[in-house]
């Protein structure tokens, strides 16, 4: 059933008020010249001229250290507009967005618009209305778990809000593969409800498809969308349901109805800890992560097990095909990717002081690769080891004389 979307600004405001005031950390910066080229000096001057004193320029939390300046061709006229967000902590009036346009080498402020909260959590640009122009899709946060999503439609001289809702995570993707991207919203109130809803744009409004109920006790660690097979796009959710329990769910949009890709997915993807699904091998298809206990560690505690991470592609006949295996050492900051010919053939040995990790064959114990971690201040190069890389704390080396394997070592 299709449902007409109604404005939920007041719902989001209530969620913010009821949820407290713990502030999220994010990459914000006081107004100062960003690292732009000389040709953007005029833009920086135009921005500084209109911003109130002491405000913070906002970068999207989800984008890490991204610039607070987004230069993008919103109206597809082959000229970039500049989209900028800021927060005025003194006036505490919420987030403000600015759109600048450039004419004859001079940047002008075209539109100002408002957002909820104090943090810009996510920012995307996509055509979700089918007009071949890009909408501004902004996720805001107020220092609490609930967040608010706004979609803005801009054309020179005007801007309007097309859609707003509370959300926990969202995806912008053409899940039904009809040529137009949809908005899919996951809203979680842990222990009470977890609901995912896809919205289609039709006849100048967003229409909600029937919502799908998910595991209300799960912690949704990662939500991404994209191809899940060679031909199908889907939504992939990595869910933790206990201290040592997690699984991955895959959702498809069939006949404009969200449904599980397989009733066996939970069993197929069960793992001790969540692993973020991603397109690890860059073939355009999302791989699902699983944790593998190395041979010899079957009775080891969860905390001391050196898990191997496997990344698998799902097929619609309910099979998982192994694509990549890696060993991650997060504390020291590196990972080793198994050569494909050694997938499922290696286990791990480690020294008593855990400075050396060795990858050996399950049958025979032949050493294939090793990583020796030495504190920087203790490192001494010698002819028996080859330096793989270093961080501020460690130098990483190997003793195996096989230069073809060097490229399988990576710093995190």
pLDDT, one tens digit for every residue, the chain (412 residues): 444 444 444 334 333 333 333 333 333 344 344 455 555 788 989 999 999 888 999 999 988 767 899 999 999 999 999 999 999 988 888 899 999 999 988 999 999 999 988 999 999 999 999 999 999 999 999 876 679 999 999 998 999 999 999 999 999 999 999 999 999 999 999 999 999 999 999 989 999 999 999 999 999 999 999 999 999 999 999 999 999 999 999 999 999 999 999 999 999 999 999 999 999 999 999 999 999 999 999 999 999 999 999 999 999 888 999 999 999 999 999 999 999 999 999 999 999 888 999 999 999 999 999 999 999 999 988 888 999 999 999 999 999 988 889 999 999 9
Provide DSSP, 296-334. T-TTS-TTT--PEEEEEEEETTTEEEEEEEEEEETTTTE
Which residues in 199-210 are b (16+ Cβ under 10 Å) and which e? bbbeeeebbbbe
> CA–CA separation, 207 vs 190, rounded Å?
26
> CA–CA separation, 303 vs 125, rounded Å?
41
Given a contact cutoff of 8 angstroms between Cβ atoms, the answer to whether 237 and 219 are in contact is no
């Amino acid at each position: 059933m299709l449902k007409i979307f109604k404005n939920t600004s007041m719902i989001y405001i209530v969620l913010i008020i009821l949820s407290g005031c713990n502030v999220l950390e994010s990459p914000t910066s006081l107004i100062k010249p960003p690292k732009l080229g000389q040709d953007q000096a005029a833009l920086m001057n135009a921005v500084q001229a209109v911003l109130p004193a002491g405000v913070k320029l906002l970068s999207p939390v989800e984008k890490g250290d991204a610039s607070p300046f987004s230069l993008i061709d919103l109206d597809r006229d082959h000229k970039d507009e500049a989209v900028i967000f800021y927060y005025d902590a003194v006036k505490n009036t919420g987030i403000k967005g600015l759109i600048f346009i450039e004419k004859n080498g001079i940047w002008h402020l075209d539109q100002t618009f408002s957002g909820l909260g104090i943090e810009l959590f996510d920012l995307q640009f996509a055509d979700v209305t089918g007009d071949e122009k890009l909408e501004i899709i902004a996720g805001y946060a107020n220092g609490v778990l609930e967040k608010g999503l706004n979609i803005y439609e801009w054309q020179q001289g005007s801007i309007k809000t097309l859609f707003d809702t509370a959300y926990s995570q969202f995806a912008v993707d053409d899940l039904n593969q009809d040529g137009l991207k949809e908005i899919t919203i996951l809203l979680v109130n842990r222990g009470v409800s977890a609901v995912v809803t896809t919205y289609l744009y039709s006849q100048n409004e967003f229409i909600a498809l029937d919502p799908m109920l998910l595991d209300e006790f799960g912690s949704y660690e990662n939500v991404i969308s994209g191809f899940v097979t060679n031909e199908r796009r889907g939504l992939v959710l990595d869910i933790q349901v206990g201290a040592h329990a997690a699984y991955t769910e895959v959702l498809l949009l069939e006949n404009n109805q969200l449904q599980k890709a397989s009733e066996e997915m939970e069993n197929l993807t069960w793992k001790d800890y969540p692993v973020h699904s991603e397109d690890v091998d860059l073939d355009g298809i999302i791989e699902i992560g699983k944790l593998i206990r190395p041979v010899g560690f079957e009775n080891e505690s969860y905390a001391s097990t050196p898990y191997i991470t496997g990344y698998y592609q799902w097929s619609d006949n309910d099979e998982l095909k192994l694509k990549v295996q890696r060993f991650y050492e997060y504390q020291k900051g590196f990972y080793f990717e198994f050569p494909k010919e050694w997938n499922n053939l290696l286990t791990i040995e480690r020294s008593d002081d855990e400075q050396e990790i060795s990858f050996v064959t399950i049958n025979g114990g032949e050493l294939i690769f090793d990583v020796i971690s030495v504190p920087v201040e203790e490192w001494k190069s010698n002819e028996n080891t080859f330096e793989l890389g270093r961080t501020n704390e460690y130098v990483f080396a190997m003793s195996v004389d096989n230069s073809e394997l060097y490229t399988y070592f990576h710093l995190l």
